[in-house]
């Protein structure tokens, strides 16, 4: 029983950085969390990458230490360097996923036509920074600047600044209201407006 407990602790220390990297990745992106089985597989993949990086870090540290001694590298389970590497790896993967980094170059090589974004919804909002018009289920149209929007088109809320109703093709500002929150379930579709406001701002500058 004691041997089992020790082996379990060692296994946990070995796998923990992989789960930590996956946790950081899903914390910094809008990807939906997969099933428990898929999480374990992802954690194992992250663990393999992390352990490879830690071995490389240890080798680099030894090479540098031959010229500038700065301490020893413990032979015990390398939990601390693995933890730091896991956090950095999860953050790096998040950075590229949120910017379509990996898939952008893969598309140029003809490897794929997919993006790094979790959905077309997410990618469209990320690429179109402009005013939007929400077409509601009761045929009303709401115009405003989105400061928040749901990552999932099936749940969540839009938060619009400078809201106004569009009536007969004209903007009717909602007086006394700074922001308005709309349930995504009440929205039939979304229009992304041309950035004419940018041209107007340029004209107003002296």
Give the CA radius of gyration of the chain.
25
Give the residue from 4, 88, 93, 91 showing the smallest Cα distance to 53: 88
pTM strictly above 0.75: no
Give the helix/strand (H/E) hosting 138. Answer: none
pLDDT tens-digit map of 89-138? 999 999 998 888 888 888 888 888 888 888 888 888 888 888 999 999 98
pLDDT digits (tens, 9 = 90+) for 93-105: 999 988 888 888 8
What confidence score (pLDDT) does residue 59 get? 80
Q: State the CB neighbour count (10 A cutoff) for residue 63.
A: 9
Predicted local confidence at residue 74, as pLDDT: 59
Question: Residue 171's pLDDT band (boundaries 50, 70, 90)?
Answer: confident
187 vs 104 pLDDT, higher one: 187
Q: Of 188 and 205, which is predicted with more confidence? A: 188
Torsion on CA atoms 54, 60, 66, 67, rounded to nearest 10? -140
Which residue ranges does the chain devote to CATH 2.30.30.100? Answer: 120-194
Range with the poorest average pLDDT among 50-54, 62-66, 76-80, 90-94: 76-80
- CATH class, domain 120-194, is mainly beta
Question: Which H helix or E strand runs over 30?
Answer: none
């Amino acid at each position: 029983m004691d041997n089992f407990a020790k082996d379990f602790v060692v296994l946990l220390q070995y796998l923990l950085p992989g789960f930590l990297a996956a946790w950081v990745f899903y914390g910094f992106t809008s990807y939906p969390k997969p099933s428990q089985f898929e999480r374990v597989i992802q954690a194992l993949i992250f663990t393999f990458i992390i352990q490879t990086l830690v071995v490389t870090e240890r080798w680099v540290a030894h090479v540098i230490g031959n010229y500038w001694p700065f301490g020893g590298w413990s032979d015990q389970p390398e939990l601390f360097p693995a933890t730091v590497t896991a956090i950095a790896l999860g953050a790096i993967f998040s950075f590229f996923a949120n910017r379509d980094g990996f898939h952008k170059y893969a598309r140029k090589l003809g490897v794929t036509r997919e993006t790094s974004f979790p959905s077309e919804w997410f990618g469209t909002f990320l690429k179109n920074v402009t005013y939007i018009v929400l077409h509601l289920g009761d045929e009303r149209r709401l115009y405003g600047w989105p400061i928040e929007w749901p990552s999932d088109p099936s749940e969540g809320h839009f938060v619009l600044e400078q809201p106004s109703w569009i009536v007969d093709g004209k903007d009717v500002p909602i007086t006394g209201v700074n922001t308005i929150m709309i349930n995504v379930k009440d929205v039939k579709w979304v229009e992304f407006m041309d950035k004419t406001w940018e041209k107007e701002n340029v004209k107003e500058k002296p």
